Amino acid sequence: MDFRQEFIEFALAQNVLRFGEFKTKAGRLSPYFFNAGLFNDGAALDRLSQFYAKAILNSGIDVDVLYGPAYKGIPLVSVTALSLACAGRNLPFSFNRKEAKDHGEGGIIIGTPLAGRVLIVDDVISAGTSVRESVEIIRAAGATPCGVVIALDRMERGTGALSAVQEVEQDYGLPVVAVATLDDLVAFLKQRPDFAEYEAAVARYREKYGVSRPS
């Protein structure tokens, strides 16, 4: 089975991915809900990191340093670095403080110095605020942001014609790698007759709010 489909099964088993009727921040009624914060024990985080590592290795992006934006990106970048090392790709990593430290080593970066090509590791992209702040921090250090990796791309329009992911790609010229996308979720549902009612609901929602990825 493709690792993306495995990831969706895993998210369902962890209750991170749920089906029903959920109101989004934009006021839309979504037939599914994804909360990466529910990957909240050691075993779940370990397996999640393996999916992140596979997505990064599969992307072919040339990376020198991994960076996790506070706060959600901190555990994600740490365990992803560990899984990549176990897969034979040992990379240094760092993350930021929300407030600069004025004593000791000082500054806002903990871990390896930001240098070379830096990959941002986060859970999702909603408004793109976290990515913007990360890009500014990376560039201020003299390094180059080279991409973003997230758990799920909802492939859903924001206030305009583009999704939050597409806006990040357009505004910063960065590739966004998702462990799984809405396309992968639809493909999963099509293979599961027991989820037939949700397949129809997700298809309708996608038709109304979805965006297409270039082939």
Q: Would you name the residues annotated as active-site residues?
A: 101, 103
195: tokens are 């989820």
Task: Record the tokens describing residue 177, joined without a space.
Answer: 């790698």
CA–CA separation, 80 and 93 (whole Å): 9
Q: H/E element holding 198?
A: helix 196-209
Helix (H, G, I), strand (E, B) or coil at 23: strand
Q: Specify whether the CB–CB gap between 16 and 39 falls below 8 A.
A: yes
Query: What is the C-alpha separation between 25 and 160, in angstroms, rounded?
Result: 15
Element containing residue 110 per DSSP (H, E): strand 107-111
